């Protein structure tokens, strides 16, 4: 479903602090599978995920989604694609401060202008499945780590995307909450979602839920 062909990504190109995070990666990721991008910090796994999820464009190489080349797309089309296809769960969760959980989860759907009543219904259904129904009106900054992550997951799911990308999801969680996260992964798999997770946590990449592990080192496949 997602193909990367000799993809490279550089930061601060041409300057003294030029950094090549990804140095030629070719990989094919299948739909409905859970894939973990594994590697030490600095291996380029997070950068690779941003390229897969159309958050960034490669410096060179091609990215194809359902056979369609997206690496040369303009910002606007890329954003639309991103909105429809991908849901992101950031390592720091990145919930918007000052907004309630409910409002945070609604955010990705705002640009679509869907009727509020329908949206609220969908949001509350999601919050219930993730055990956050009681906290719908709580301000984002009051949530515990586990709750914040579940809110972030709910937000990633609100537009019902095909692919969920999670960056180091267990980095800020204890074992119990990490296990809970993996239960959610199982649930999402059952719904037919494709999951791509970056992690250096053995609890994640050794989990039975994971179909494939892609190892990276220094911007290359290891």
Partner 1 sequence: MPPHPWLQRQRYLVDFTVGALGRRKGRNLALVAVYALIVFVLASVLLFSQALRHEAATLLSGAPEVTVQRLVAGRHDLIPGTYLERLGKVRGVTDARGRLWGYYYDPVVAANYTLLVSPDDPPPAGKIRVGSTLATTRGLGVGDVLSLRGHDGQPYAFTVDATLSPDSALLTADLILVNEQDFRAFFGIPTGLYTDLILTVPNPREVTKVAEKVLRALPDTRPIVREEILRTYAALFDWREGMVMVLLSGAVLAFIIFAWDKASGLSAEERREIGVLKAIGWETSDVMAMKLWEGLLISVFAFLLGYLAAYVHVFGLAAALFGPVLKGWSVLYPDFQLSPHVEAFQVFTLFFLTVFPYALATVVPVWRAAIADPDAVMRL
Partner 2 sequence: MADRGDLDRAGLGLGLKALSRGERVLLAGIALFLLFLGTFIHAGIAADRAEHATAANRALASRLTLTDLALFTEARYTRNLSQADLHAAFQDHPGALEHFPTGALVGPPHRDPHAAASLAPETTLSR
Residue 73 as a binder of partner 1 (CB under 8 A): the answer is no
**Span of 25-33, 36-44, 53-61, 171-179 interacting with partner 1 by CB under 8 A:** 53-61
Question: What's the start-to-end Cα distance of the chain, in Å?
Answer: 22
Beta-carbon-side half-sphere exposure of residue 100 (alpha carbons within 13 Å): 13
Residue 98 as a binder of partner 1 (CB under 8 A): the answer is yes
Helix (H, G, I), strand (E, B) or coil at 132: coil
- For residue 68, give Cα distances in angstroms to 3, 189, 209: 9, 24, 29
Closer by beta carbon to partner 2, 51 or else 154: 154
Residue 111 as a binder of partner 1 (CB under 8 A): the answer is yes
Mark 23-36 as b/e (b = at least 16 C-beta within 10 Å): eebebebeeeebbb
Query: Alpha-carbon Rg of the chain, whole angstroms?
Result: 17
Question: DSSP letters of 45-114?
Answer: HHHHHHHHTTSS--SEEEEEETTEE-TT--HHHHHHHHHHHEEEE-TT--PPTTSBHHHHHHGGGGGGT-
Residues 158-197 that bind partner 1 (CB under 8 A): 159, 167
Contacting positions for partner 2 (CB under 8 A): 116-117, 120-121, 124, 133-134, 136-137
- How many of the chain's residues bind partner 1 (CB under 8 A)? 40
* Nearest Cα residue to 127 out of 150, 107, 143: 150
Residue 76 as a binder of partner 1 (CB under 8 A): the answer is yes
Q: 58 is in the binding site of which of partner 2, partner 1, none (Cβ under 5 to 8 A by kind)? A: none
Closer by beta carbon to partner 1, 162 or else 211: 162
Question: Closest approach of Cβ 142 to partner 2, in Å?
Answer: 16
Residue 40 as a binder of partner 1 (CB under 8 A): the answer is no
Q: Which of 12, 15, 41, 97 binds partner 1 (CB under 8 A)?
A: 97
Binding site residues, partner 1, CB under 8 A? 46-47, 49-50, 55-57, 75-76, 79-80, 82-83, 87-88, 90-92, 94, 96-99, 103, 106-108, 110-118, 155-156, 159, 167
């Amino acid at each position: 479903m997602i193909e990367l062909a000799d993809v490279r990504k550089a930061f601060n190109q041409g300057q003294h602090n030029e950094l090549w995070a990804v140095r030629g990666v070719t990989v094919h990721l299948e739909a409905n599978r859970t894939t973990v991008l594994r590697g030490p910090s600095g291996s380029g796994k997070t950068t690779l995920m941003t390229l897969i999820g159309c958050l960034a464009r490669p410096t060179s190489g091609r990215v194809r989604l359902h056979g369609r080349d997206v690496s040369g797309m303009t910002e606007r089309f890329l954003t639309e694609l991103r909105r429809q296809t991908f849901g992101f769960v950031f390592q720091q969760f990145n919930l918007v401060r000052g907004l309630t959980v409910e409002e945070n989860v609604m955010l990705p759907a705002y640009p679509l202008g869907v009727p509020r009543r329908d949206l609220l219904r969908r949001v509350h259904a999601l919050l219930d499945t993730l055990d956050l129904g009681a906290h719908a009106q709580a301000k984002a900054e009051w949530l515990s780590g586990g709750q914040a992550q579940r809110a972030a997951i709910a937000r990633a799911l609100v537009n019902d995307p095909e692919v969920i990308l999670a960056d180091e999801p267990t980095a800020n969680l204890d074992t119990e909450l990490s296990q809970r996260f993996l239960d959610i992964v199982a649930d999402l798999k059952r719904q037919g979602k494709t999951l791509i997770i970056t992690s250096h946590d053995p609890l994640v990449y050794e989990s039975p839920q994971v179909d494939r592990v892609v190892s990276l080192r220094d911007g290359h496949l290891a």
